[in-house]
A and B are shown apart, each in its own frame.
Chain A
Amino acid sequence: MDTLGIFRDIDSAAAAVDGLVRAGFAEAQITSLTSVPYPDGVLVRSEQRTRFRWLALAGGLAGAAAGFVLAAGTAWLYPVQTGDKPIIALYPTAIVCFEIAMLFAIIGTMAGMFLEMRLPALKKRAYDPAIAEGFIGICLTIHRGGEAVECRPGEERQDCIGEIVSLSAVEQKERAEEIMLAAGAMRVIGEETP
């Protein structure tokens, strides 16, 4: 279940995050929704390591192979003598390999980026159009007690799920709403995630 609080400015949003963390929610459950990026830690601390670069590298290698097949492979399949150039020539093959490797690396970067962001979102997720006008959203993911939660690799369980999970989901939600409104939220929206 996601709870989204909309705040007018950075200070009230930051106060809300502090309040939530003090109440027992884990930092990993809280994320900010902003229309401009803020440095890490200003609102929430998030995982900074990314893995999409591996897909970019894989794309580059696949592209180099594809380029080789295209330039050298097709020439080998259909050898036609032209001038003094060998059938499989070094420079043309290298050039075509490079271009296609870069193309696939770029596509891999984009694909990897979207995969890592888990976009496009298939399920409806908490959002408010006011965020585009400069308002700041603080989104809290509430875990039910006993629910299996996917922690990131290398993360401690207590960093992943807060102690507050001892309360029921509805109680957690009410506490979160209280904290956010006390910090200065303009409104709080709840979103049911199945």
Chain B
Amino acid sequence: MEKLTSPYKWGMVIDLDRCTGCGACVVACQAENNVGICEKQEISEGRDMHWLRIERFWVGEYPDVRVRFLPVMCQHCHDAPCEPVCPVYASYHNPDGLNGQVYNRCVGTRYCGNNCPYAVRVFNFYPHEWPKPLDNQLSPDITVRSRGVMEKCSFCIQRIRRAKEEAKVEEREVRDGEVQPACAQTCPAEAMVFGNLADPRSRVARLARSPRRFQLLEHLGTHPSVYYLKGGGREHV
């Protein structure tokens, strides 16, 4: 059994002082990843399909009210609690540091969804359809999931794969900033930065060393790949 190593360790930094809560990232994610379109009934039942959600918190009493936004997607934990519990290896850790979800292998026990402390895993309770001509919008680079399958943010693995393939052809490594997931690409405030945490000179690695950084649910020891930046140094959401 050789240890599989990779020069990449994908991660993301989200600056909460820049986030305006506009939700463009959510829309971009849905468009890029063939995420199912949900009706009002589905959403009201708690079965929304957002891979990325903007959590909104009100702070203070009127008239001194402020709002905080927190975009939460799959944290791609290095010690992911969702991975060991899948009975069929549909959820696993790939050498690039991503938490992978193999749609074809998923039998739908939903154990991973229960064990994710961030509740970012999304289950296809409904069969989702794209009535014509909406099916033209589907990306050919990514599976369309059937009902009964678990899915979640993949850091746009299809874009990462394409960038790696192009880099391999040119016999180089992926350059910093060359691959961006749909959410990071779309954010108008440039609050999301994506890149290779293993490369200490990349933008994301430098931001991840900021004293403003924190991670969600650090006490659980999941070691997420997503860092959040906030305030002058000690404030948290």
Direct contact between the two chains A and B in their complex (CB within 8 A): yes
Residues of B within 8 A of A81 (CB): 4, 83, 92-95
Residues 78 to 118 of chain A near chain B (Cβ within 8 Å)? 78-85, 87
Contact assessment for A79 and B1 in the assembled complex, using a CB-CB cutoff below 8 Å: yes
A: contact size bracket: 10 to 19
CA A83 – CA B84 in complex, angstroms?
6
B80:A83 contact, CB within 8 angstroms: yes
A80 / chain B contacts, CB cutoff of 8 Å: 89, 92
B208 within 8 A of partner (CB): no
B80-120: contact bitstring with A at CB < 8 Å (1 yes, 0 no)? 11111010010111110000000000000000000000000
Chain B residues within 8 Å of chain A by Cβ, number: 17
**Cβ of A82 and Cβ of B1 under 8 Å apart?**
no
Q: A84–B92 contact, CB under 8 A?
A: no
The reply on B17 being an interface residue by CB < 8 A is: no
A38 within 8 A of partner (CB): no
- Residue in A76, A83, A84, A85 whose CB lies within 8 Å of B1: A76
Using a CB–CB distance below 8 Å, which chain B residues touch chain A? 1, 4, 77-84, 86, 89, 91-95
Are A83 and B79 within 8 A (Cβ)? yes
Report the minimal beta-carbon distance from B94 to chain A, rounded to whole angstroms: 8
A110 CA to B133 CA in the complex, in Å?
Answer: 65
If A83-B81, A87-B1 are given as contacts, then 16 extra A-B residue pairs at C-beta distance below 8 Å, sorted by A number, are A76-B1, A81-B4, A81-B83, A81-B92, A81-B94, A81-B95, A82-B83, A82-B84, A82-B93, A83-B82, A83-B83, A83-B84, A83-B93, A84-B78, A84-B79, A85-B84
Shortest beta-carbon distance, A92 to chain B, in Å? Answer: 9
B92 and A82 contact, CB distance less than 8 A? yes
User: Across the interface, do B79 and A82 meet the contact criterion of CB distance under 8 Å?
Assistant: no
Chain A residues with Cβ under 8 A from B93's Cβ? 81-83
Which of A76, A83, A85, A87 neighbours the largest number of chain B CB atoms within 10 Å of its CB? A83
Within 8 A of B (CB), among A54-94: 76, 78-85, 87
Query: In the docked arrangement, what's the CA distance between A79 and B79, Å?
Result: 16
Nearest 4 pairs between A and B by C-beta?
Answer: A82-B83, A84-B79, A81-B93, A83-B83
